[in-house]
Structure 1
Amino acid sequence: MPLYEYECPRCERTVELLVRSGDEKVACPECGEVKLERLMSAPAAPNMNGSSRSLPTAGPGEGCGAPRCCGGICQ
């Protein structure tokens, strides 16, 4: 289920809401406003190397992860 970030124009609160389908109506949990503005946000990615500052990367010779990867020589 996608998690979207919205801003309420009435109370100016920013909230994250789970949206099960594109037809689902959302409302501000604080004031009940239904005309929320969906915000652009960065997608979440798992952190595989223990650092909270970087995204996981492939090691030397592991390739880029694309379906037709060239085996680590992608530039």
Structure 2
Amino acid sequence: QIRSFIGGRHKDDRGLYVSTGGFSKDARYEADRSTIPLTLWTLDDLVRALVENYEQVDIETKLLVPLKKTYLPA
């Protein structure tokens, strides 16, 4: 799947590939040898980025993924 993803990109593109199940050694190898910059993210990476940047995301994303801050006592 990584190879197909890379094959559909143009030489000036950059890629971000997200997998909910992680990546095999072969998938990481294909990403490393890609002709375009390609970043592989797991589901944890995606969630972390969303939480860290939630205030900056557009309203459409906030409607799709409504998050609410919860404070817990220390």
Greater RCO (CA < 8 Å, at least 6 residues apart): 2
> What TM-score bracket applies, with the shorter chain setting the length?
under 0.3
By percentage of residues, which structure has more helix?
2
Largest Rg, 1 or 2 = 1
Q: What TM-score do the two structures reach when normalised by structure 1?
A: 0.27
